[in-house]
Amino acid sequence: MIATLRRHSRFAADIVFPLMWFFARLFSGLPMSGPPACCCRLIRTDWKAITGSANEKRDAKEYRETMKMKPIRKLPQVLLLIESSRGYGRNCLMGIASYMRTHGHWQVLHLERGLQEKVPANVERQRFDGVIARMENAQIARSINRMGVPTVDLRGLFQPPGGVCYNTDPSACALMALEHFRQRGFRQLAYCGYPGVDFSDARCTAFKSLCESAGIPVYVFDAFAAKKSTKARQSKKSRSSATPRINTLAREAKGEMDEALIAKWLLTLPKPLGIFACNDMRGRQVLNAVRSTELRVPDHVAVLGVDDDEVICDLANPPLSSIQPDALRIGFEGAEMLDRLMAGETPDQETVLVPPVRVSIRTSTDVLAVDDMDLAEAIQFIRAHGCDGIGVQDVLEATSISRATLERRFREILDRSPREEIERVRIDRIRMLLAETNYGLEKIATMTSYRTAAHLVTAFRRIAGCTPGQYRSQFRG
Contact 114, 83 (CB under 8 A): yes
CA distance 204 to 220: 8
Complete edge-to-edge strand list for the sheet that includes strand 77-81 = 107-110, 77-81, 130-133, 151-153, 164-168, 351-354
* Encoded amino acid at 460, one letter: F
CA distance 30 to 18: 15
Q: Which CATH number fits domain 170-325+357-365: 3.40.50.2300, 3.40.50.620, 2.40.10.120, 3.30.70.2700?
A: 3.40.50.2300
CATH code reported for the domain at 77-168: 3.40.50.2300
Axis crossing angle, helix 403-414 with helix 392-399, rounded to the nearest 10: 100
CA distance 151 to 159: 9
Higher pLDDT, 88 or 235: 88
Domain 77-168 and domain 373-476 have a common topology: no
Domain ranges in the chain? 2-67, 77-168, 170-325+357-365, 373-476
Model confidence pLDDT, tens digit, residues 138-177 = 899 999 999 999 999 999 999 999 999 999 999 999 999 9
CA distance 155 to 167: 6
CA distance 414 to 77: 53
Closest by CA to 329, choosing from 69, 112, 92, is 92
CA 299 to chain CA mean position, Å: 33
CA distance 260 to 276: 18
What pTM was estimated for this model as a whole? 0.74
355 cis-preceded (ω within 30 degrees of 0): no
pLDDT reading at 60 higher than 80:
no
Domain 373-476 adopts which CATH fold? Arc Repressor Mutant, subunit A (1.10.10)
Contact 50, 18 (CB under 8 A): yes
SS3 108: strand
pLDDT reported for residue 376 = 83
pLDDT reading at 333 higher than 60:
yes
Closest by CA to 365, choosing from 274, 278, 477, is 274
As a dihedral over the C-alpha atoms of residue 96, residue 97, residue 98, residue 100, rounded to 10 degrees, the angle is 90
Model confidence pLDDT, tens digit, residues 93-143 = 999 999 999 886 899 999 877 777 888 888 888 899 999 999 988 899 999
pLDDT reported for residue 284 = 97
CA distance 204 to 192: 8
Let me know the angle formed at the C-alpha of 49 by 11 and 29, rounded to the nearest 5 degrees.
Answer: 80
SS3 404: helix
